[in-house]
Structure 1
Amino acid sequence: MAAVTVLPVDRHELAESPRWDVATGTMSWVDIPAGRLTVARPLPDAQLEILRTLDLDEPVGCAFRLGDARYLLAVGRRLGFASALGEVTTSRDLLPEHQRFNDGVIDPAGRLIVGSTSRDPAGPHEGNVLVRLEHDGAVTTLDDGLGISNGLAFSPDGRTLYSVDSAAGDIYARDYNAETGAVGPRRVAVHIDDEGVEPDGLAVDADGGLWVALWGGGAVRRYTPDGALDRELAIDAPHVTAIAFIGSHLQHALVTTAMRDLDEDARARFPDAGRLVVVSDLGATGLPAYRWRPGPLPD
């Protein structure tokens, strides 16, 4: 049976983008509205050593560790880098004023794919996009007309790109050719229609199972590659935001949660809302993350 352990970190308004860097044995995550990136090393007995925090001037949707201790960031309407010393450089604005960047993933060819959402959490949620940063700094729109572009992941063979549209309640699948850059039309792999529940962050395990965090559902679900519900793990926080496989064999999961949209009574009833948890004994292992191939930002 899976075991859930709460990590000793402060509560976050909206923790997201959990990542594991196998080269350094470190984890990272962001608090989106706080504009904060945190990097930590896990220690025995569910303890953490906080190695670095970086406070940005605007919401940060996702962050990826690079090989030279820099981070690739999606901040506000721009993409950027954070140096080992905390210096941040960014691209030009790439989205309209009412949108910001949200979750992202690195593709098998080392390119960043990242989606957008409305700056106002209350919406309206429409006209959002999924874009790819090419090796030469160009930006390609892979899809548009989305509600809330959210979790992203690849199948084990790298030939299927999964993405979440939280507003639609859908996990989409698209055929993906990393060599040519060709992306097929979206199709619904999983639809979640539970009342008050939205799919959020996404991860894929070594067997192709889809693990999705449930905003409003207090859980993480696993769906088989053909879309059948396989299992559900309860998390003691209503808004579960994202999941990433961590550990020496990617045998554990780091799960982020949020306090946003909870009133004071709910925050008191769910003291772990906004914290991070580690889930062990999953009965599954994750996939190694693809590494970003260095290139310029859009000028």
Structure 2
Amino acid sequence: MTMNSISPGKVETAIASTDILGETPLWCDRSRKLWWIDIDGRLHQSFDPATGAHHVTSYDCQFLGSQALAADGSHLLAQDLTLHHRQTVIDVEYGLDNRLNDGRVDARGRLWIGTMDNQLHRPNGALFRVTGDGQVARIFGDVIVTNGIAFSPDNRTLYFTDTRRYRTWAFDFDLDDGVIRNRGLFADYSASQERPDGACVDVAGGLWTAFFSGGRVARYRPDGTIDTVIALPVTNPTCLCFGGSDLKTLFVTTARKFLDQRQLSVEPQAGHVLAIHGVAQGLPEHRFLAG
């Protein structure tokens, strides 16, 4: 198959936000809204394509690390090292200079979420599995920056990225037991030190990954080969999801963080949420099943 390279001209601004570190976009098929966060701005945001309404809620924490949709229609929010769902607070980790970062809910309603080193170089982080009754299981450690957690459409593979190790792995996933095995290297950028960041999957099993500081998103086939690259008008894409009524719009969050004034002046879309139409079709997001 010939690699498909899509020009930046196909990329639109969906929401002209000014996110410091936009992240974790999720399409809610009930509200028909896009939800995302600004980690450093501590903002939880929504956008309604039908009306153009952009709603922003601020939180009192150091970092609003990620989010998940919940089965009752609410949201699960990662604040520093704790998870917040309505009146419930779940402590995930203690005593380290870490914060919660990327996470994703599996088809049984369990949240898989990881921590990251606030200094971006120490292997202090870990991957955790959190169930609706508040039980937290530490799956493995030795992680610098957790990212790119995604599940294949057949629920047999879990993808996991450590951005500051420049690698993505694939695990065999047992949906019934909630266990991962047989860690295998899926993509390795350790030589070039490119930074794979957030990820999502499409209906055909393709893994879409944003490259922070790389100005692009790419689609991997399940065998690990890349078949699509989309150049972006920003240096720092962070994460992506499929949304819209037909789940055929690829939304990409971006960051202004780490860009100097010169870079910001030539990247007016930095910090915006971008949209690319018709490149693939996504899947509805799974929802956290609280006990």
What is the SS of the residue equivalent to 1:188? strand
Which residue matches 1:6? 13
What is the SS of the residue equivalent to 2:91? coil
Unaligned runs of 5+ in 1: none
Which residue matches 1:80? 84
Q: Cα distance, 1:34 vs. partner?
A: 1.3
Which residue matches 1:287? 283
Q: Cα distance, 1:287 vs. partner?
A: 1.5
Q: Is the 8 A contact 2:214 2:236 kept in 1?
A: yes
Is structure 2 residue 69 aligned with structure 1 residue 70? no
Cα distance per residue 1:40-84 (max 9 Å; x no partner): 2113xxx72124423332211111233444210111011112x4x
Matches of 2:270 and 2:196, distance apart in 1 = 17
- Percent same amino acid at aligned positions? 31
Cα distance per residue 1:6-47 (max 9 Å; x no partner): 12433111000000001110111000011110012113xxx7
| 1:70-149 equivalence runs, <5 A | 70-81=74-85, 83=86, 89-92=88-91, 94-120=93-119, 123-149=120-146
Matches of 2:290 and 2:254, distance apart in 1 = 31
Matches of 1:68 and 1:182, distance apart in 2 = 25
Matches of 1:227 and 1:9, distance apart in 2 = 33
| Residue 31 (structure 1) aligned to one of 28, 35, 38 | 38
Distance change (3 Å), C-alpha of 1:9 and 1:140: same
Name the aligned partner's letter for residue 20 of structure 1: W
Which residue matches 2:246? 249
Q: Is the 8 A contact 2:201 2:208 kept in 1?
A: yes
What is the SS of the residue equivalent to 1:286? coil
Matches of 1:51 and 1:36, distance apart in 2 = 10
After superposition, the CA RMSD in angstroms is 1.8
Is structure 2 residue 161 aligned with structure 1 residue 164? yes
Q: What is the TM-score with the length of structure 2 in the denominator? A: 0.92
Q: Cα distance, 1:248 vs. partner?
A: 1.5
Q: Cα distance, 1:150 vs. partner?
A: 0.8
What is the SS of the residue equivalent to 1:64? strand
Distance change (3 Å), C-alpha of 1:30 and 1:194: farther
| Residue 176 (structure 2) aligned to one of 176, 179, 188 | 179
Name the aligned partner's letter for residue 102 of structure 1: N
Q: Cα distance, 1:225 vs. partner?
A: 0.6
Q: Cα distance, 1:237 vs. partner?
A: 0.6
Which residue matches 2:3? none
Distance change (3 Å), C-alpha of 1:285 and 1:26: same
Matches of 2:254 and 2:226, distance apart in 1 = 22
Count the aligned residue pairs: 284
Q: Is the 8 A contact 1:125 1:167 kept in 2?
A: no
Q: Cα distance, 1:95 vs. partner?
A: 3.6
Q: Cα distance, 1:118 vs. partner?
A: 1.3
Which residue matches 2:260? 263
Q: Is the 8 A contact 2:13 2:274 kept in 1?
A: yes
More relative contact order, 1 or 2 (CA 8 Å, 6+ apart): 2
Matches of 1:273 and 1:52, distance apart in 2 = 18
Q: Is the 8 A contact 2:96 2:124 kept in 1?
A: no
Matches of 2:121 and 2:186, distance apart in 1 = 25
| 1:232-247 equivalence runs, <5 A | 232-247=229-244
Q: Cα distance, 1:167 vs. partner?
A: 1.2
| 1:188-203 equivalence runs, <5 A | 188-193=185-190, 195=192, 197-203=194-200
Distance change (3 Å), C-alpha of 1:255 and 1:180: same
Q: Cα distance, 1:187 vs. partner?
A: 1.2
Is structure 2 residue 136 aligned with structure 1 residue 154? no
Q: What is the TM-score with the length of structure 1 in the denominator? A: 0.89
Q: Is the 8 A contact 2:71 2:290 kept in 1?
A: no
Unaligned runs of 5+ in 2: 1-5
Which residue matches 1:59? 63
Cα distance per residue 1:245-270 (max 9 Å; x no partner): 00112111110111111111111111
Matches of 1:65 and 1:7, distance apart in 2 = 21
Matches of 1:112 and 1:158, distance apart in 2 = 14
